[in-house]
Each structure stands twice: as structure tokens, then as C-alpha cells.
């Protein structure tokens, strides 16, 4: 059955890192240097403007939002009185930080580009863990461009897309937050996975910008559903909505050397997503 997306919000730069939380979709606009929220009716608001490009988002149990500040290599915290540095990550990576996920214990796992500049190739790099109190340490190494990531609802498994490694990699999470028992969750021969999200049946939706599609994948790599988007590329996805069955897509075009026509698109799917704090 052919599935077509609807446009919820347009006029964006490069939307990324979507998270459904408290009845709204929160996302970063990498080009616009702002974090926004939009409800299912398309009503949007700018939550914070930044001097840097934002990426991964998460939430602490007190309601504070965490925002990855890419170039500055900070994990920021949005308090009622403004942005604060939650953790300085510059000692762990030489270049841009990337997407992230925050679990129910307030622990944030985040990746980075693993490059020294925009032009240099990605080299093996790390996953950084930031605790609720802002302490940071490396918990995994030798990943190639760790990007979109999820934590299972029981906080026992962490899964990350290695974009230039062409695979999803899983780890068990110890009670300390450390990552152990590394394994390949799914491997792809012909595309570089970007943003991901998890549904109630344990399948993962994976954004594939190279073919303007999202794929529903089972552990082991079996692809059971493919959704194409029109006239643009899709870089990230999130499940949410009032029934959990709305698949939100972050899409953007690259024209004349610039990002244009960034949008949030959506469609209904059969299996609901799992809740991320």
C-alpha cells in the first residue's frame, strides 16, 4: 500500500533531532540555530534561539530541556532563566557534537562527527555519557559517525546509527550507565543510516537520506516497510502524536549549495512508538 506524507510545518532550514514530548514535537533547526516545538495541528513556537547550531534534544525529570550545542561542543540546559552549560564536551571530541538521547535516569548519550573539519573524513570516535548532574565520560569508542540514537524503555539497551559505518550498533546498559556487549543490530550495504526511532514491537524506523525514504527494520536487518518522501530528503524521524502512531519526518532539500525548504512531514503508521523521556 502506498503511503504519502502530509506537510505539518514548512519554512524551516534543516530540522533535526525530533522528540515527541508532552503533546508536542520538539526539534532543532540546525540552519536556523533555534529549537522549536509544533503540535499536531501545526501550531509552532520558537523555544530558544542559539548562537550555535543545535542538535540532539532530551528532557530531565524536572522538565528542563537538554540541547546539544554542536560547534561549541556543549550539552546545554534550558532553565526558566535561560540557557546554561550542563556539560563541556570539548575534551572528548575535536569537532562537532551530534544527536543524543536522554534516558529516564537523566543520563544523556551523544555522538560526534569524528572529524577534524568539514572536509576531513570521519575517523573512529566515541559515545559520551553525561549524567543528570553534568558529569561527562566516554562509554564507547571506535564508532564511525555515531548519529541518531535511542534507549529502550527499560533503560537496558542503547542503539545508535553509525552513519558512515552503514549499520545500527547496540549495547547493553549497566546500572552505572556504562555500555557493554557491543553488537551489530542491523547492517546496511547500500545506504548510510541517519535518524532513528523505536516502536512498540521493537522495530526501528531508519531515515535514509540518499534515497529520500524511511525504512522499518527488524533486528538482524530485515526491512519490512519503506516510505518514500517527495521532492526532498528525510534525515530524521520520531513516533508520537496522541495515539503514538504518527510518524514525524524531518525533511530538507539541498539546492544551489544551500539547505532549503526544511519541513516537518507526517503520516500514520500501524504500530505506536515507545515513550522517550
Asked if residue 1 has pLDDT above 60, the reply is: no
Whether 53 is in a domain gets the answer: yes
Whether 1 is in a domain gets the answer: no
- H helix and E strand count, the chain: 0, 24
* Nearest to 175, CA basis, from 150, 139, 209: 139
The model carries a pTM of 0.95
Determine the Cα–Cα distance for residues 257 and 51; give it in Å rounded to an integer.
22
Tell me the pLDDT tens digit for each residue of 5-49.
999 999 999 999 999 999 999 999 999 999 999 999 999 999 999
Cell of 185: 543490530
In sequence order, the β-bridge partners of residue 236 are 250
Owning domain of residue 180 = 10-268
Tell me the pLDDT tens digit for each residue of 230-264.
889 999 999 999 999 999 999 998 654 555 689 99
Whether 231 is in a domain gets the answer: yes
Mean pLDDT value across the chain: 94
Q: What is the pLDDT of residue 227?
A: 96
Whether 176 is in a domain gets the answer: yes
Whether 273 is in a domain gets the answer: no
Q: How are strands ordered across the β-sheet holding 24-29?
A: 15-21, 24-29, 34-38, 44-49
Tell me the pLDDT tens digit for each residue of 91-107.
999 899 999 999 999 99
Split into its structural domains, the chain has a count of: 1
Whether 276 is in a domain gets the answer: no
**Could you give the maximum distance between any two Cα atoms of the chain, in Å?**
49
Whether 19 is in a domain gets the answer: yes
Asked if residue 65 has pLDDT above 70, the reply is: yes
Q: What CATH number does residue 209 fall under?
A: 2.120.10.30
Coil vs helix vs strand at 92: coil
Determine the Cα–Cα distance for residues 76 and 60; give it in Å rounded to an integer.
12
Whether 241 is in a domain gets the answer: yes
Amino acid at each position: 500500500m502506498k503511503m504519502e506524507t502530509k506537510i505539518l510545518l514548512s519554512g524551516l532550514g534543516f530540522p533535526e533531532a525530533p522528540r515527541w514530548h508532552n503533546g508536542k514535537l520538539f526539534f532543532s533547526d540546525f540552519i536556523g540555530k533555534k529549537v522549536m516545538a509544533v503540535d499536531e495541528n501545526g501550531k509552532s513556537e520558537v523555544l530558544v534561539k542559539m548562537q550555535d547550531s543545535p542538535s540532539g534534544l532530551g528532557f530531565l525529570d524536572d522538565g528542563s530541556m537538554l540541547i546539544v550545542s554542536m560547534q561549541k561542543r556543549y550539552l546545554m540546559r534550558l532553565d526558566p532563566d535561560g540557557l546554561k552549560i550542563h556539560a563541556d564536551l570539548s575534551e572528548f571530541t575535536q569537532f562537532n557534537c551530534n544527536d543524543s538521547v536522554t534516558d529516564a535516569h537523566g543520563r544523556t548519550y551523544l555522538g560526534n562527527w569524528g572529524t577534524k573539519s568539514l572536509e576531513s573524513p570521519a575517523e573512529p570516535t566515541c559515545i559520551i555519557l553525561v549524567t543528570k548532574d553534568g558529569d561527562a565520560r566516554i562509554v564507547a569508542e571506535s564508532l564511525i559517525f555515531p548519529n541518531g540514537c535511542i534507549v529502550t524503555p527499560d533503560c537496558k539497551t542503547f542503539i545508535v546509527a553509525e552513519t558512515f559505518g552503514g549499520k545500527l550498533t547496540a549495547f547493553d546498559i549497566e546500572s552505572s550507565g556504562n555500555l557493554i556487549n557491543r553488537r551489530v543490530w542491523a547492517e546496511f550495504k547500500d545506504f548510510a543510516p541517519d535518524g532513528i526511532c523505536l516502536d512498540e514491537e521493537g522495530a526501528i524506523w531508519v531515515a535514509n537520506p540518499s534515497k529520500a525514504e524511511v525504512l522499518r527494520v527488524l533486528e538482524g536487518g530485515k526491512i519490512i516497510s519503506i516510505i518514500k518522501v517527495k521532492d526532498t530528503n528525510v534525515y530524521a524521524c520520531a513516533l508520537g502524536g496522541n495515539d503514538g502512531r504518527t510518524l514525524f519526518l524531518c525533511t530538507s532539500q539541498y539546492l544551489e549549495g544551500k539547505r532549503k525548504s526544511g519541513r516537518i512531514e507526517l503520516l500514520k503508521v500501524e504500530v505506536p512508538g515507545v515513550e522517550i523521556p
